């Protein structure tokens, strides 16, 4: 359960970081690629689909609730981590 908590906080932090960077870019505080707002919208569907599929697969295998939650968070965490890296390179 401690691992789930750590993963949850990491995902939460990375999500807030991505949101702050994107909002700062849209407000004109730093240069942002022109396709970033569209990317922001288009990435949601596939990311949450992968999360739902991972959770469903874990549940079908009889995993514990914490394992199902971590399975759902894994694709989202990968995406937010990549977004943070990409957006901070633009700074």
pLDDT in tens, 11-56: 999 999 999 999 999 999 988 889 999 999 999 999 999 999 999 9
Q: Domain total for the chain? A: 1
- The DSSP output letter for 13 is H
Q: What confidence tens digit (pLDDT) does each residue in 45-78 have?
A: 999 999 999 999 999 999 999 999 999 999 999 9
Q: How many CB atoms lie within 10 A of CB 27?
A: 9
Length of the chain: 91
Q: Print the domain residue range for 52.
A: 2-89
Contact (Cβ atoms closer than 8 angstroms) between residue 75 and residue 50: yes
Q: What's the predicted TM-score (pTM) here?
A: 0.86
Alpha-carbon gap, residue 63 to 84, rounded angstroms: 30
Residues 40 and 18: their CA atoms lie apart, in Å, by 10
DSSP tag of 29? S
């Amino acid at each position: 359960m401690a691992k789930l908590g750590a993963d949850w906080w990491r995902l939460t932090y990375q999500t807030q970081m991505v949101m702050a960077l994107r909002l700062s870019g849209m407000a004109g505080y730093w240069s942002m690629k022109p396709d970033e707002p569209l990317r922001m919208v288009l990435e949601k569907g596939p990311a949450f689909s992968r999360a739902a599929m991972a959770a469903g697969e874990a549940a079908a295998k009889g995993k514990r609730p914490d394992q199902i939650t971590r399975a759902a968070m894994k694709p989202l965490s990968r995406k937010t981590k990549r977004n943070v890296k990409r957006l901070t390179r633009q700074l």
